[in-house]
Structure 1
Amino acid sequence: MKAPLFLLSASVLVCGHAHAEEIQRLFIPRQDQVEVLERLRKIVFPRVEFEDTKLSDGLDFLQMRDAEISYINPPKRFGIVVRDRSLADEKVSIKVRDIRMDQLLVRLAELTGSVILISRNCIEFHPGDKLDPELLRFAESPVVMAADKIILPRVEFDDTPLGEAAELVNELTDEQLKGAPHPRLVMDPSASSVPVIPSGKHENRSLADIALYIARHTGHVLTVDGANLKIMKPSRQQQLDKAE
């Protein structure tokens, strides 16, 4: 099999195979392209072998191996998430050697019929052959770009209610920036503060990534509201979209 072709367009990384219909598999916000591509291409896996392995299990393995590989100094790890339960359970079989991270991601996306959105700190698998344009537009908004540059050294949740989690994130951001202005994480009246964020530690994650994580994990959506990030119920967001 011929190696994948990688073509960089004005806004996204376009991937496909020679002599095959070209399908975009990797999407990278414009502001992150140079850094993300450089990091992905420096991560080389000496050997990857999956046989009827769930995509989620395979990605967990890659994250552990990524932490062991010292091609980047200091190492910068990507968080990897699958945004669909059925996609996470998809079985993959692959046997390769000396493959770069960007090439491997494309292969996994092709095998599972998915697409990938990659930011500076997070790799997201989404089902289907097309990415919702709103996801990319959201990632490229000035507020999200600013929040993506704010790196929180450590955020720890302990079955924390959503409302308290948002307050914690704001407090940690205030401490990190020593009171300098920054996008804040706010709750829309439609949002429920009751759902909890399970226990877990998150290290060196951007404000944007953490905000998106806690919103999606509790069944909410993350939107931009002026200079802030807002957590709200999906139904409320859909009503606003229809009114515009």
Structure 2
Amino acid sequence: MATDIAEHQQMSDEEVLAQIPTFLAAGHETTSTGTTWALYALSETPQVQKKLRDELSTILTDNPTMDELNSLPYLDAVVREVLRLYPPVPFSQRLTVKEDVIPLSAAVTDRNGKVHEYLEVPKGQFIFLPILSVNRDKKIWGEDSLKFRPERWESPPEGASAIPGVWGNMLTFIGGPRACIGYRFSLVEMKALLFTLVRAFEFELGVPAEEIGVSSWIVQRPFLRSNPEAGGQLPLKVKPVRRM
């Protein structure tokens, strides 16, 4: 489509049209879902919400630049912790195109007593990537791995450095040549949304936390256990912040 690219390198109209579902699903719903989980986590931890709001209030404009957003360390920590604990896409998979061998970080003994230090993978095998499980693994993140604690990013655990993610020592955006190509835009978009929302409003859960369930179908969304037929939703009480 760009005029400065050689014609043989341009995408055809059919190829562009084929990418539209990806733009809509991967480029929109994941970020909105991540922001929803951020508001859930902040509603559950009012002290974190206040600390974040105090930092956001140091920016004296309602329209911060990307550099200003990226200069806020606690906002960055909150976004990292949200995406670790509540990755919008909780798992992914890959299909092998040839036989391969996957080394294991620790030997595994099967039910027949045989010890395996690697896995032989045949061609055509689906490989399940447990994004959520790795992001919450207590062996990596400690005994409080299920707790929303942005302060952990002041000194991330050593084990996290071995996670081959493209960003943040987590698997949320996957890694390698097939990592999420829009992760930088998604991060800035999420920070901008939280900047605007948390700076202007206070958030509380509109229902008991026990009422919130998780529905996972490609993207994991909150829903009401008492009304699952209504689909994804997160009832919140929203109150405007009084600025001095």
The structure with higher relative contact order (CA 8 Å, sep 6+) is 2
Is the strand fraction higher in 1 or 2? 1
TM-score by length of 1: 0.28
With normalisation by structure 2, the TM-score equals 0.28
| Higher Cα radius of gyration | 2
